[in-house]
Amino acid sequence: MLTETYILDALEAERDGEQFPIDFDAVWESFGYSRRSDAKRYLLKRSGLKPVVEQGLRQLALLYNHSEDFNKIYLTVDSYKFALARANTVAGAEYLDYLIQIEKQYRVNLERSLFSDPNPEVETLKARIAQLESKSTETESQIAFPKTLEELHQVSGIVHKHQLKDAVQVAFVESVDFELVDGKMRLSIDTFNILVMSLRSRRGTDITKLPAVIRVKTEQYFRFHQQKKRQNTRVARPECIGQLPIPGIQ
């Protein structure tokens, strides 16, 4: 006789890889026939199920080898539900509804257990998914914002890194020109190039649109190099004069 325990065992067996967990001998009465032979005749001739033959061993959606000597029949869970629906009997309809209700509750309980119980396989899968998602996000971020604040600081050689970071946040748009992830700043290539060109360009470049902290440091940078250039020029002049030929002296 079909019981809740039998159905649950069959569902669990199918989940574990058993293809045909329903034994005809255990469920034939659920089709609404009083004799096993009539239920078997219905299943093999009128249910619409097709046998799967396996060298004289267990077989089926039906498991049957077309031999009268072979008397064992097994079904998949779906094939069993299909046969109950096609039986067109009161018992078949009632058992089908009974099976469906138990299966629904089984699926709900299974889903809950997978996401609530400390299952090593599930936890490993979750961790792997999170890792892949993180890697994907990181890759997308590096494509959109390929330059780091450290790179800008190294090539500029002008401002302190924290001042540069504050200035970028004030003057540029987050998620468009730059992004902050765990406190670390990354820049779009356009933002990086604009800052590098302004910070390292020759005197005369328009820097009025730069943040004040960068503009002040940039002006100091220009003045420092201009002063250094003049000092180098003054030192070089005597050396140059001493090397020139004196008129009239060969």
The pLDDT tens digits for 133-187 are 666 666 666 777 888 888 888 876 655 777 778 888 887 888 888 888 888 898 8
Q: Where are the domains positioned within the chain?
A: 4-116, 143-236
The reported pTM is 0.43
Beta bridge partners of 186: 148, 179
pLDDT at residue 249 tops 50: no
For helices 212-243 and 189-200, the axis angle rounded to 10 degrees is 40
pLDDT at 138: 64
Token pair 């019981």 is found at 3
Query: Averaged over 36-59, what is the pLDDT?
Result: 70
pLDDT band at 94 (very low <50, low <70, confident <90, very high): very high
Q: Which residues contact 223 (CB under 8 A, 6 or more apart)?
A: none
Nearest alpha-carbon partner for 172 in 162, 185, 184:
185
pLDDT at 140: 65
> Kind of pairing, strands 147-148 and 184-187?
antiparallel
pLDDT at 21: 87
Query: Which of 61-70, 106-115, 145-154, 232-241 is predicted with the least confidence, judged by mean pLDDT?
Result: 61-70
pLDDT band at 46 (very low <50, low <70, confident <90, very high): confident
